[in-house]
Amino acid sequence: MTAADAHRAIHAVWRIESARLIAGLARFVRDVGLAEELAQDALVAALERWPESGVPDNPGAWLMATAKHRAVDALRRGKLLERKHEEIVYQLEARQERATPELEAAIDENVGDDLLRLVLTACHPVLSTEARVALTLRLLGGLTTEEIARAFLVSEPTVAQRIVRAKRTLAEAHVPFEVPRGAELTARLASVLQVIYLIFNEGYSATAGDDWMRPELCEDALRLGRILAGLVPNEPEVHGLVALMEIQASRSRARVGPSGEPILLLEQKRSLWDRILIHRGLAALERAEALGGARGPYALQAAIAACHARARTAEETDWVRIAALYGVLAQVTPSPVVELNRAVALGMAFGPAAGLEVVDALTSEPALEGYHLLPSVRGDLLAKLERFNEAREEFERAASLTRNTRERELLLDRAAACVRKPSTQRQ
């Protein structure tokens, strides 16, 4: 094996094993920051040894054993004596003395609980949303600081600072490395789902930059969602979120043209939609509904996405059902953004005037000030009513508000198309 081959293998192993490794270590040392340091030390050791020795048969067990050896060494040197971890030292030493098969079995012990603890810790409400996202991608996604910075178009020092502060905040707040119960678990899970959804959305429709999508973020969010669904299989909203992401991700290939230009939903080649992901999404939605979660916010959004997935052509889309589902969603989680989406569905189901009526009522909504999709939707409805001068103004305004280059180009193209059409009298 060449050094390059070994490094590629190590990178792949780290993406797969890092979350399990950090979670298992955190169970012993009760400190997420220290657990990550020990895991990184083990990674450095792998980078030094594997190019010569080759990748071991069970790389995850090798990394865990190496990290635990280093934990014992650190404890013996007295670096953590103030934390009174004598019992932890004893447990670690006992595990290190076991034979390799026993060690490998021990690594798998409680791995589900450990991962759930890590997920809930990384997404603790004591952290800011930005910190939760950065820490989750670092600890559970296995992403480097550089990769996170590139994904969210912020500087590496900014991301590094968020991660350092997040770990310090968790330590200072004495956040226990455990699975909470009852209402606290429900609240924490909501935070976890929010973070995963934010990561997916940033990948699906990038807020800023030159790319319409960042597929790697969608993949990371999907992986995290699937892991969470396995850890808490009886939580309907977890399956609802997974269903939503699977179905949305199924359109990825159809959403971008040959030159990277955006392709809107109704113009996409549905033959490019991934039927496997759609099948997985519909199955997850069925699980959410079977668990009594049909009215959950993520399950409702997944049901809306399912309407599109089941339609063989754009013309077959059941817009009346979509509008009704948005109506239920507006009751469950009232939001101006939900209302804006409901307006789109109403416009498709009952004509653009019906949608425009709802949109016009939202123009004075403070929460939507500066939100580029409001003038974008209004421009679309006005164009369908052949009020092209007004539509052009709205598209140009939307273009001025978005920070995504591809989206700006699309909106300006739509504005230019309005100039070429004769406008009817203002209504």
**pLDDT in 10s for each residue of the chain, 427 residues:** 677 787 888 888 888 888 889 998 998 888 899 899 999 999 999 989 988 888 888 988 899 999 988 888 776 665 555 554 555 555 555 555 443 444 344 444 455 678 889 989 999 989 999 999 999 989 988 888 888 887 787 899 999 999 999 999 999 998 888 888 888 888 889 999 999 999 999 889 888 888 888 888 899 899 999 999 998 999 999 999 999 999 999 999 999 999 999 999 999 999 999 999 999 999 999 999 999 999 999 999 999 999 999 999 999 999 999 999 999 999 999 999 999 999 999 999 999 999 999 999 999 999 999 999 999 999 999 999 999 999 999 999 999 999 999 999 999 999 999 987 765 544 4
DSSP line for 291-302: TT-TTSHHHHHH
- What are the E-state strand segments in 128-265? 208-209
**Which amino acid appears at position 335 of this protein?**
S
For the chain, the C-alpha Rg in angstroms (whole number) is 25
Structural domain boundaries, residue 44: 3-109
In the numeric block, the tokens 């955190």 are attached to 26
**Is 321 inside a domain boundary?**
no
C-alpha dihedral, 316 to 321 to 325 to 331, nearest 10°: 150
**Is 361 inside a domain boundary?**
no
**Is 253 inside a domain boundary?**
no
> What's the rounded Cα separation, in Å, for the pair 128 and 121?
13
Which tokens in the block code for residue 89? 């030292």
Which tokens in the block code for residue 423? 């406008």
Give Dmax (Cα) for the chain.
85
Our count of domains for the chain comes to 1
**Is 75 inside a domain boundary?**
yes
Global pTM value? 0.82
Q: What's the pLDDT score for residue 347?
A: 98
**Is 132 inside a domain boundary?**
no
| Residues written for the chain | 427
Q: What's the pLDDT score for residue 143?
A: 82
**Is 41 inside a domain boundary?**
yes
**Is 8 inside a domain boundary?**
yes
**Is 43 inside a domain boundary?**
yes
Q: What's the pLDDT score for residue 188?
A: 87
